[in-house]
Structure 1
């Protein structure tokens, strides 16, 4: 009888852990960075630390984002004030059914980090609401 009670309790505990982990699984879009994106090789040089210059911002979601006009915004951390301050913003048009997107330098957006420091990078919708964000460090 003790073994049955133990097995029932163990089964309940494992079930709760599994259900709880599923509840907290990533359901929002994820943002990360790479040196560049290649159609054949995919993401090249994925990191959260880069030297000054151009980078590629990647956004991956489980479901289509349902967005058209978006922006990538950089905010630079100001060590004197202890706050992030607006740095740059780049505008893009994407397809509504996209769930895996890369944003890179183009004719309208240079996507360049010119100053070293810590940045908060946002994917914003047409109402400037945050869709995804991540931190990145730029070094000399």
Structure 2
């Protein structure tokens, strides 16, 4: 598990930033879509959705791995709803994540136990949920909805 970390960032131009995580992590460039930026990298909202989805995927893989279950290749889709709050400021209102296992559920063991607990271990999702609704769907390789 990763420990605390520090991010260093600097403005390159307009709304484009360089983000340095240190160590061997490559530099990440972020930007806002037009008309503010040039869409030359993911926006902070996109990173929030990606972080939520990727954390859930890693947590699901880890949970199945505890039972020696290989569900690769895991894939999915994440989306968000952006709306305005009472002060008319844009906010991420909700995030929806669909995770699809690489194997049919019928070939796996401990599915119910994994599905009932894996979200609890997702640091990002549980942190985000304190202010944003996060909906999670899990499908098996056949497209059968498991959660």
- Greater share of helix residues, 1 or 2? 2
If asked which structure has higher relative contact order (CA below 8 Å, sep 6+), I would say 1
Considering the TM-score relative to the shorter chain, is it more than 0.5? no
- Greater share of strand residues, 1 or 2? 1
Larger gyration radius, structure 1 or structure 2: 1
Please report the TM-score for the alignment, with normalisation by the length of structure 1: 0.29
